[in-house]
Amino acid sequence: MNQDIQPVSQEPLPKWLQLSEEGLRISLKYPTELNGVKVDTLVMRAPCVRDVRAAQATSNGDAEQREISLFASLTQTPEAELVTLKMVDYGRLQTGYFRLVEDDEV
């Protein structure tokens, strides 16, 4: 069941962000080559506590590295390739991540 879900208590989603039961799909402003394929969207699954702990354990206290490791894991993209995204597209990943971890019901 892969239907789009509209959050209840948040502002409308930007047109480049589609939320689903599994996570979200992010349209990139600048298509780029990742994993040897030119892509214009990335799929990010919803994180679990284990994902956050694993990223924290490998970051040596570096918050930026922790975030990059976490996003790489959640999008199944190697870190070395994830950091080649344009800043606007990396910002879209950040926005999407925070949408995934917010509790709409609070």
**Domain residues of the chain, as ranges?**
23-100
- 88-105 core/surface letters (b: 16 or more CB in 10 A; e: else): ebbebbebbbebeeeeee
pLDDT value at position 13?
A: 86
Q: What is the pTM of this model?
A: 0.83
57-95 pLDDT, tens per residue?
999 999 999 999 999 999 999 999 999 999 999 999 999
In the predicted model, is pLDDT for residue 97 greater than 80? yes
Task: Give 92's contacts (C-beta < 8 A, 6+ positions apart).
Answer: 16, 17, 26, 27, 28, 29
